[in-house]
Amino acid sequence: MPGETVEEALAAACELAKNNIGSVLTHLGENIADRAEAESVARHYLDVLDKIRAGNLRVEISVKLTQLGLDLDREFCFANLARLIEQCPPEKTLWIDMEQSPYVDATLALYRRARKAYRNVGVCVQAYLYRTERDLESLIPLGAAVRLVKGAYNEPSEIAFPKKADVDESFYRLATMLLNPDARRAGVRAAIATHDGTLIQRIKGWAASQGIAKSKLEFQMLYGIQRAQQLRLAQAGYRAAVLISYGTFWFPWFMRRLAERPANVLFLARNLLS
């Protein structure tokens, strides 16, 4: 994190833009159980979108639906989401994060509803879930904007690949689905969100074999992780973006992620040491 405030996050985004790297901002927090607090989060994001528009910044935002009231009322949550999409500059994507597996159906249902009314909305999917291939089969014909991640929650083996090697193969297979000719004809925007150098090389090689221009291939990473890799991708002509988290909720969020999935500790340690 560059800091707790949106001003610090936007300043970091402006520095990244100097190297042709875009940014996606997310305000930390989840599972809000108070209506007024969810409305406050929506107002915060509306203010962020105003700042992005006024500064013509190379920045998008990503929201969690449980921040916008999903645990309270689905219609209330959708109303907050719609307000944000309407304020989002039309050339930018407003991203919806994917949360734990119990929220997948509701998240995709609200995404599909939003996609019918607005073009500039995207959704995150998780490669470690067995179901994601089927989900992509229904999202691709919509011309969806999709951010593909491995997944960071501790999910049971009944619904998610327990082994890293299987998650990696799933990620690669799903990435090629999002980049294949049918997906490109449908207008899919594929954001390949990984720090895994081996996977990045495989996907780059596959895309080159398919004649996909570097400028059409987008990689997203976390702020402060693999900075040299981000810069190399941008300098080589690939689209690169960085997810910047901010907010005062960082400590409980960070500790929960580490407690939920011990592999997150190893990931953090490897990248801090590198």
Q: Find residue 192's DSSP bridge partners.
A: 148, 219
For residue 153, count other CB atoms closer than 10 A to its CB.
Answer: 17
Residues 6+ apart with CB under 8 A from 226: 195, 197, 271, 274
Rg (CA), the chain: 18
SS3 23: strand
Look up residue 173 and give its two tokens: 């297979």
SS3 267: helix
CA distances from 51 to 10, 58, 60, 68, 163 (A): 9, 11, 11, 20, 42
Active-site position among 71, 97, 168, 196: 97
d(C-alpha 266, C-alpha 43), whole Å = 36
CA distances from 180 to 36, 96, 106, 202, 208 (A): 43, 23, 27, 15, 12
Is 97 a catalytic site residue?
A: yes
Is 196 a catalytic site residue?
A: no
Active-site position among 71, 115, 135, 147: 147
Q: Are strands 239-246 and 22-27 parallel, antiparallel or unpaired?
A: parallel
Catalytic residues: 97, 147
